[in-house]
Amino acid sequence: MFSLSLSSLSFLLPILIYAAVATASTQFIKLPLLHKTQHPNQNSFSRSHPHPHPHHHRHRQTLKSPVISGAFAGSGQYFISLHIGSPPQPLLLVADTGSDLIWVKCSACRNCSLHSPRSTFLSRHSSSFYPHHCFQSTCRNLVPHPHPNTCNHTKLHSPCRYEYSYADGSLTSGFFSQEIITFNTTTAQQLQFKDFNFGCGFHNSGPSITGGSFNGANGVMGLGRGPISFSSQLGRRFGNKFSYCLMDYTLSPPPTSFLVIGSEQNDVVGVNSKINFTPLLMNPISPTFYYIGIKSVYVDDVKLRINPSVWSIDELGNGGTIIDSGTTLTLLAEPAYREILTAFKRRVKLPSPAEPILGFDLCVNVSGGLSTSYPKLSFELVGGSVFRPPQGNYFIETSDLVECLAMQPINQESGPSVIGNLMQQGFLFEFDRDRSRLGFSRHGCAIP
Ligand SMILES: *[C@@H]1O[C@H](CO)[C@@H](O)[C@H](O)[C@H]1NC(C)=O
Ligand SMILES: *[C@@H]1O[C@H](CO)[C@@H](O)[C@H](O)[C@H]1NC(C)=O
Ligand SMILES: *[C@@H]1O[C@H](CO)[C@@H](O)[C@H](O)[C@H]1NC(C)=O
């Protein structure tokens, strides 16, 4: 269980300050990813209406931060803990590669005694809080969704309003602002970044950001490809790469997962020699997402008959496959899903549970066996590498002694297929944005 305490904000540790200039001393930042669990419902923070963003050139270097698994609080999400403001206020954000905006729940209260501590960012209680003016270039160029209100540049206090929505219709709106953020890295350093752009969300609505699945989170840390994301804002100081390992949070005690901005210099366990690569593909219609290309799917080494066009991105930008840390289950284009489901149904001979399990098409009653062995699943990717998840990544316990195939179909017309965070567990994934490639390895997660 993760908890934060307001009384523990003392700055006893040395603080490194990064402003506009990159320093050579820190090559990466490693942050723990916290996890909270419950029922692995389909959570998705993927952006719904992606818009093209202008490109900006920045400095480069590395940042590594611990990632917190969202499973204990019931969401199947991974969280990052950070501090915003002066004095710093602790907040917990969902780590999401499927969106760009970093935002936190905000309150403009003056007398905040009615606010439960650490549920919102109290902007008036920070001396470094700076809402951008709507006429500033930061607002006009960086905010993908400026609020429909017209900007009155003759008015002194005309804040940069944003509005940002997610795949399930959840919405956050507020002021696009600047602050100082502080992290505890795994090496017990405190790192501070000035001029950090984020959304101060005064109005937040919708199931995935207010309901139980948000689970104690105070906002979302977008790690997408757009210029306002965490990986873009900090990544350019750290070589424009980031990586993470999402560990199986059902293990006891749950292992720590990490987010690394930049790359750890030492190839301690020879990960580099064992790493597989596949190109990160670009979809100009959805520049937020990290697309990868699936060539074929195998169940028990038998190639399924799926038309390759099922995986492609069409002229309208529909289809394709993204890798998303903010979505729990894997969602596949209908024709591919049907083939995979059929192949599993043919091979899995265990009895069905007495009642069907809502949201899953293949569930089994495992009360009869000691340990169940499921058919092997593998994805052949563009470039020839093969992603072979262990069975625990695609068969999950949904209730006592009932296990289900952790995939759902999507209608290909309406969105990409999504490799969710359960499917990614136990692998190191490295998003190399400059080289446009995704590295993955089953041997990369053991690094302390
Ligand atoms: C960071 O470390 C300090 C000192 O150990 C601690 O007081 C503080 O709560 C930590 N902050 C977070 C966000 O973990
Ligand atoms: C803040 O609100 C509380 C509760 O309503 C009240 O008791 C307190 O006097 C207020 N403080 C200030 C400074 O207004
Ligand atoms: C699973 O099978 C066992 C043995 O037949 C039975 O007692 C139990 O109720 C079943 N569980 C479910 C959820 O169907």
pLDDT computed for residue 395 by the predictor: 93
Q: Where are the domains of the chain?
A: 2-262, 272-441
pLDDT computed for residue 53 by the predictor: 28
Per-position DSSP letters for 379-444, written without gaps between them: EEETTS-EE---GGGTEEEEETTEEEE-EEEE-GGG--EEE-TTTTTT-EEEEETTTTEEEEETTS
Mutate to test the pocket of ligand 2, among 107, 110, 111 (most ligand atoms within 8 A of CB): 111
pLDDT in tens, 377-422: 999 999 999 999 999 999 988 888 899 999 999 876 678 999 998 9
206: left (phi over 0), alpha (psi -120 to 50) or beta: left
CA-proximal residue: ligand 2, atom 3 (nearest): 113
pLDDT band at 74 (very low <50, low <70, confident <90, very high): very low
CA-proximal residue: ligand 2, atom 10 (nearest): 111
- Rounded to an integer, the average pLDDT of 350-376 is 89
Mean pLDDT taken over the chain: 80
pLDDT band at 200 (very low <50, low <70, confident <90, very high): very high
- Rounded to an integer, the average pLDDT of 202-216 is 79
Beta bridge partners of 205: 171
Q: Which atom of ligand 1 is nearest to the CA of 9?
A: 7
Q: What is the pTM for the complete model shown?
A: 0.83
- Say yes or no to pLDDT of 282 above 90: yes
Does residue 364 line the site of ligand 3, with CB under 6 A?
A: no
pLDDT computed for residue 40 by the predictor: 40
- Rounded to an integer, the average pLDDT of 418-436 is 94
- Say yes or no to pLDDT of 54 above 80: no
**209 vs 200: which has the higher pLDDT:** 200
Burial, 336: exposed, middle or buried (Cβ in 10 Å; 0-12, 13-18, 19+)?
Answer: buried
Q: Which tokens in the block code for residue 325?
A: 């840390």
pLDDT computed for residue 369 by the predictor: 74
pLDDT in tens, 155-168: 777 889 898 888 77
pLDDT in tens, 285-322: 889 999 999 999 999 999 999 999 999 999 888 999 99
Architecture in CATH of 2-262 = Beta Barrel (2.40)
- Rounded to an integer, the average pLDDT of 323-352 is 94
Architecture in CATH of 272-441 = Beta Barrel (2.40)
pLDDT in tens, 100-129: 999 999 999 988 887 776 789 999 999 999
pLDDT computed for residue 167 by the predictor: 77
pLDDT computed for residue 348 by the predictor: 94
Catalytic annotation, pick one of 248, 300, 324, 361: 324
Q: Do domains 2-262 and 272-441 have the same CATH topology?
A: yes
